[in-house]
Structure 1
């Protein structure tokens, strides 16, 4: 479970101090699915970076399962990310010279998995997202939707507790968007993940159980009663 307490993040922009996050309190339970929305520059990605241990707050606590990420050393944060948190980004972030299977295997290298185990687990992860026939394909040989599926497989192959997604459908057309959301929602249910996603897409937000809106560093959370 996440517990954010009075999380503040300030940046200096010239002579101006920007409050990307301003005293944010937020609880996210195990297995929760939360969508984060808000205007550009409102603090959405900053919040996701805090949850992923990619950035630290100026003030406050970001507690994951009893551990305050803000107080960990960089090496320990790297371990937490490698073991517990999967990331999916808008730009896929695949290595162009590696096959789909090799791209997925990269997530297992920091965990010390043996080569045979890495290959087997990567192949199974790709099959789980519908790419069992694309193991040997390079990113350039796949569509945008297929590349994002590879990125999802890479995020999930290490069996994380948390999946963080930053605009994962932002580069996709509507049909591809729906396919990727189907994959993400199925993985959330099957694996019991805590799934937190930043999106500007209101159609996606309407289907989420909880929606957090950030404006000028402040957050409001509502339960979504839509079917």
Structure 2
């Protein structure tokens, strides 16, 4: 379970101080699916970075299962990210010189997974996203939607407790967007990970069981609804 208490994040921009988050309180249960939306500069990506342990708050606390990220040294925080959190980004972030199979395997290397098991798990992860026959293809030989499927497989191959997705459909056309969202929702329902997604897309936001809107670094609105 995530617990955020009075989370503030400030950045220096030249002589100015920019407050990206301003006293955010948030509880997120295990296995919950949350979508975060709001205007540019509202704090969405900053919130996701804090949930992922990629940054630390200026004030307040971010805890996962009772572990306050601020109390962890960098090595322990890196291990927590490695073991428990998967990330999916708008830009896919695939290594262009590696095949789809090899890209997925990269998530297992830091875990010390043996080669045979690594290959087996990566192949199974690709199959779970509908790319079981494309493992030997380079990213340049795949469409944008297929590249994002590889990125999703890479994020989930280690069976993380949490999946964080920052505009995962932002570079895709409407049809492919819906296919990727259907895939993510299906994997979430099947694997029961906690799923937090940032999006500008109102059509995707309306599909969420829980939706918060960030404005000027604060939670301005929250809705709970049945998925479409």
TM-score range, shorter chain: over 0.9
State the Cα distance separating 1:224 from its structure 2 match: 2.4
SS in 2 for 1:9: strand
Alignment of 1:139-178 (within 5 A): 139-178=139-178
Q: CA distance change for structure 1 residues 96 and 29 in 2, over 3 Å: closer, same or farther?
A: same
State the Cα distance separating 1:153 from its structure 2 match: 0.1
In 1, the alpha carbon distance for the partners of 2:191 and 2:212 equals 23
Measured against aligned partners, the alpha-carbon deviations of 1:30-76 in whole angstroms (never above 9, x if no partner) come to: 11100000111110000000000000000011000010012211111
Give the aligned partner of residue 72 of structure 2.
72
Give the aligned partner of residue 179 of structure 1.
179
1:224 aligns with 2:206: no
User: Does the 8 Å contact 2:205/2:211 carry over to 1?
Assistant: yes
SS in 2 for 1:19: strand
State the Cα distance separating 1:16 from its structure 2 match: 2.0
In 1, the alpha carbon distance for the partners of 2:174 and 2:2 equals 32
TM-score by length of 1: 0.98
Which portions of structure 1, spanning 4 or more consecutive aligned residues, are displaced by more than 6 angstroms? none
Deviates more, 1:153-162 or 1:9-18: 9-18
In 1, the alpha carbon distance for the partners of 2:73 and 2:225 equals 37
Give the aligned partner of residue 83 of structure 2.
83
Give the total of aligned pairs.
227
Alignment of 1:204-219 (within 5 A): 204-219=204-219
User: Does the 8 Å contact 2:21/2:217 carry over to 1?
Assistant: yes
State the Cα distance separating 1:225 from its structure 2 match: 4.6
